[in-house]
Amino acid sequence: MMKAIRIHEYGDASVLRYEDADKPNVLPNDVLIRVVAASFNPIDAKIRQGFLKDQMPRPLPFVLGWDCAGIVEEIGENVTKFNVGDEVYGYPEFARGGTYAEFVAVDESQIALKPKTISFAESASLPMTAQAALTSLETAQLQSNQRILIHGGAGGVGSNAIQIAKALGAYIITTASGDGIELVKSLGADEVIDYKTTSFKDVAKDVDVVLDILGGQTQEDSWGVLKKGGFLVATAMPPSQEKAQEFGVRAAFIFTQPRGEALEKIAEMVDKKQIRTIVGEEIPLENAQKAHESKGGNGKIVIAVGKA
Residue 273 falls inside a structural domain: no
Domain co-membership, 247 together with 133: yes
**Percent of the chain's residues with pLDDT above 70:** 99
Is the CA virtual torsion 117, 119, 125, 131 positive or negative? positive
- Other C-beta atoms within 10 Å of 9: how many? 10
Domain co-membership, 36 together with 144: no
Residue 94 has pLDDT above 90, yes or no: no
What residues make up the domain containing 17? 2-126+278-304
pLDDT, position 246: 97
pLDDT digits (tens, 9 = 90+) for 132-190: 999 999 999 999 999 999 999 999 999 999 999 999 999 999 999 999 999 999 999 99
**Gap between the Cα atoms of 46 and 24, Å rounded:** 24
The answer to whether 223 and 232 have CB atoms below 8 angstroms apart is: yes
Region of poorest pLDDT, from 93-102, 223-232, 253-262, 273-282? 93-102
Domain co-membership, 90 together with 136: no
Confidence bin at 308 (pLDDT 50/70/90): confident
Domain co-membership, 161 together with 215: yes
The answer to whether 164 and 184 have CB atoms below 8 angstroms apart is: no
Confidence bin at 53 (pLDDT 50/70/90): confident
pLDDT, position 55: 82
pLDDT, position 269: 98
| SS3 state of residue 163 | helix
- Other C-beta atoms within 10 Å of 100: how many? 28
Domain co-membership, 229 together with 207: yes
pLDDT, position 83: 98
Residue 122 has pLDDT above 70, yes or no: yes
Q: Which residues lie below 8 Å from residue 189, measured CB to CB, with a gap of 6+? A: 150, 153, 162, 172, 173, 174, 176
Residue 217 falls inside a structural domain: yes
Domain co-membership, 99 together with 34: yes
Average pLDDT, the chain: 95
Average pLDDT over residues 106-119: 97
Domain co-membership, 36 together with 140: no
Confidence bin at 276 (pLDDT 50/70/90): very high
Domain co-membership, 122 together with 136: no
Residue 265 falls inside a structural domain: no
Q: Which residues lie below 8 Å from residue 40, measured CB to CB, with a gap of 6+? A: 283, 288, 291, 292, 294, 300, 301, 302, 303
Residue type at position 41: N
Confidence bin at 96 (pLDDT 50/70/90): confident
The answer to whether 9 and 15 have CB atoms below 8 angstroms apart is: yes
Confidence bin at 54 (pLDDT 50/70/90): confident
Residue 61 has pLDDT above 80, yes or no: yes
Residue 297 has pLDDT above 70, yes or no: no
Number of domains in the chain: 2
Domain co-membership, 99 together with 111: yes
pLDDT, position 24: 95
Domain co-membership, 108 together with 135: no
User: What CATH number does the domain containing 33 carry?
Assistant: 3.90.180.10
Q: Which residues lie below 8 Å from residue 243, measured CB to CB, with a gap of 6+? A: 223, 251
User: What CATH number does the domain containing 169 carry?
Assistant: 3.40.50.720
Closest CA to 172 of 153, 155, 157: 153
Residue 264 falls inside a structural domain: no
Q: Which residues lie below 8 Å from residue 268, measured CB to CB, with a gap of 6+? A: none
pLDDT, position 256: 87
Residue type at position 296: G
Among the candidates 236, 253, 270, a domain finishes at: 253
The answer to whether 228 and 150 have CB atoms below 8 angstroms apart is: no
Which comes out higher in pLDDT, residue 284 or 92? Answer: 284
Partners of 206 in the β-ladder: none
Residue 271 falls inside a structural domain: no
Domain co-membership, 69 together with 136: no
**Percent of the chain's residues with pLDDT above 90:** 89
Domain co-membership, 58 together with 133: no
